[in-house]
Structure 1
Amino acid sequence: MDELQMLRDLPAVANVSKDRITYSNAFKQVCVIRYLAGESPTKIFREAGLPPELIGYKRIERSVARWKAAVLKSVSGSSNMSNGEIITELVNLYVHAVTRKEKLDDIAGIANPDKANIGNAPHPLDEANVSGGGYISADVPVPSDAAAIAVPPAPLSASSGLDSETALVIIKQQARRIDELERENESLRGKLKTLAS
């Protein structure tokens, strides 16, 4: 029962029973975006406090595959899109949903104590390669109730001061760079096949 309580306390987990774990929608979205950006599902789960030794490697793989399939259905035209383009579309959808939720919370007068603490949380883009050679190594802006989900342990430097709009621009740049690299890779594979023939 200790493990069940530990799981219930995690922001990534919506509900737990003795034979089932239901993950929060925010965690699912962040997980798929990071997975499409090239991160290991096991790493993402571990950073969210969900070690594979407890959850199970197969369960993690099946969950991410199921979430990815569901997300790809939600992105229109995804069958013709690269991972970079899909990531950009998902980030746009996600940021829109987060903004809408926060506006509705403000209208409803729902106090959100975590909202003020987001600026003090580790920033997910501190380790991202913004010059364009790498991949997105972190999550996207998350709703305040999910601020602790899957954020790498890099501290936010006071000088970086990234807001959600800047983070979104960086993520879009990285998604475009991923797309460029995928196309270049495909071109090189074609040339390699030609040389091998």
Structure 2
Amino acid sequence: MRGGGSFSMDELQMLRDLPAVANVSKDRITYSNAFKQVCVIRYLAGESPTKIFREAGLPPELIGYKRIERSVARWKAAAIKSVSGSDHLDDSEIIAQLVERYKRALATRRNLDNMASGVPDLSVPVMSEGAVGAHASIGALDGDTAGIIIKQQARRIDELERALVALRNKLNKEVPAAPNVD
């Protein structure tokens, strides 16, 4: 395996079989919208793009590290631009908005799939035209994705708490004790 360049026939077939890949040609990959959305959310939550791709069955040695880096940067920029008021939001607020958007899209897709098959899915709320701002239930987000997001947020909170303790300790060392005046 090598990074970048043209794919062999075996590599093309392997890539076509992955849910993360919408389409692939000899020298171009089009990723599924769901993969792009989950990738951006996980990346903003602190995960490595290489790890995300590897877990999706997309080995960086085959895809190419530069291709992964450029794709994630492009998707991140588009996602941040799509979140209204993102100039003043931190990563966790952007993640929350993207997760809500992803849940609504997933619920809508399931509703459309169910209407097409004629089998109602009562676990997913029906999204009407007037429900643009409505929130889908957490059940609309698959358990693995929700678990990953929660785990990443917990890790980030832990990192921030440790950094805060370190800063407080550093501040306490730098501030000399007040002299005793008797």
Q: Structure 2-normalised TM-score? A: 0.66
Q: How does 1:159-178 map to 2 (within 5 A)?
A: 177=157
Question: Could you say what secondary structure the match of 2:144 adopts?
Answer: coil
Deviation (angstroms), 1:95: 0.2
C-alpha root-mean-square deviation of aligned residues, in Å? 3.3
Matches of residues 82-101 of structure 1 in structure 2 within 5 Å?
82-101=90-109
Q: Which runs of 5+ in 2 are unaligned?
A: 1-8, 120-141, 175-182
The residue identity in structure 2 corresponding to 1:134 is R
The equivalences for 1:1-197 within 5 A come to 1-109=9-117, 123-124=144-145, 125=147, 128-129=150-151, 133-135=154-156, 177=157, 181=160, 188=167
Pick the structure with greater CA Rg: 2
Task: Look up the SS of the partner of 2:155 in the other structure.
Answer: coil
Provide the rounded CA distance (Å) in 2 between the counterparts of 1:60 and 1:98: 24
Equivalent-residue separation in structure 2 for 1:19 and 1:129 (angstroms): 35
AA aligned opposite 2:44:
L
Unmatched segments (≥5 aa) in structure 1 = 112-120, 136-176
Q: Which amino acid aligns with 1:101?
A: R
Instruction: Give the C-alpha shift of residue 123 in structure 1.
Output: 3.2
Deviations along 1:166-190, one digit per CA (max 9) or x if unpaired, are: xxxxxxxxxxx48x939x76xx59x
Q: Distance in 2 between matches of 1:90 and 1:126?
A: 14
What is the alpha-carbon distance in structure 1 between the residues aligned to residue 36 and residue 154 of structure 2? Answer: 26
Deviation of residue 109 (structure 1)? 2.0
User: By how many angstroms is 1:133 displaced?
Assistant: 4.3
Matches of 2:160 and 2:118, distance apart in 1: 44
**Residues 78 and 126 (structure 1 numbering): CA distance in 2 closer, same or farther, change over 3 Å?**
closer
Q: 1:106 to 1:19 in 2, by over 3 A?
A: same
**Count of equivalent residues:** 140
